[in-house]
Chain A
Amino acid sequence: NAGVTQTPKFQVLKTGQSMTLQCAQDMNHEYMSWYRQDPGMGLRLIHYSVGAGITDQGEVPNGYNVSRSTTEDFPLRLLSAAPSQTSVYFCASSEMGRSPQHFGDGTRLSIL
């Protein structure tokens, strides 16, 4: 009963490093999304995808890349980490774009 799985759960990076946050879902959901959550700001949409091969930008896409080669996976890449990207990152999926989203348990990322 995995649902949405995010790895790693915690990560510390140095400024300028790159890394990929992994997200996988086993519910055959078409819609997947990435959010970041910062204190006092709520969750903000970074990128989303409505199916394999289709991605689009959210509110705060700068500094992040995504791709969707399969229905199951939606990795988020930080190209050159900056301290402003220190946050908690959540991946979510849903059957369709207007269905409720199911969230992974998050990746806590610190950039030094």
Chain B
Amino acid sequence: RKEVEQDPGPFNVPEGATVAFNCTYSNSASQSFFWYRQDCRKEPKLLMSVYSSGNEDGRFTAQLNRASQYISLLIRDSKLSDSATYLCVVNRGSGTYKYIFGTGTRLKVLA
């Protein structure tokens, strides 16, 4: 089993739709979680950190489920500009500075 797993997609959704991605992780000691977006052939850019109580930033909501060991990202009212690959990032465990990236979920928002 991979340490961090994501559905590669692509998720093809119409503009205005709500879409959700999950990311599962295998190390129960992981403590830091992030979502990044990556456009084709560009560097990853931080979308949001994921906090235990869940957090929201505009149209984006991130959740952490420690019991089932997954994080989720919800995008409401999808825009064409949301088309990208979404990467989840998890640290390897308590006290470690090693981060594991998922292979990403590709989203295409259609006009």
> In this assembly, does A8 line the interface, its C-beta being within 8 Å of a C-beta of chain B?
no
> In this assembly, does B43 line the interface, its C-beta being within 8 Å of a C-beta of chain A?
yes
State whether A48 and B97 are in contact (beta carbons under 8 Å apart), knowing that A40-B103, A42-B87 are contacts in the complex.
yes
Q: Number of contacting residues on A, CB 8 A? A: 25
Chain B, residue nearest A105 (CB): B43
Give bound CA distance, A101 to B75, whole Å.
22
Q: Mark B83-108, 1 if CB is under 8 A from A, else 0.
A: 00001000100000111111110000
Do A103 and B97 touch (CB < 8 A)?
no
> Residues of A with Cβ closer than 8 Å to B?
31, 33, 35, 40-45, 48, 50, 56, 58-59, 88, 90, 97-98, 100-106
> Residues of B with Cβ closer than 8 Å to A?
4, 31-32, 34, 41-46, 49, 87, 91, 97-104
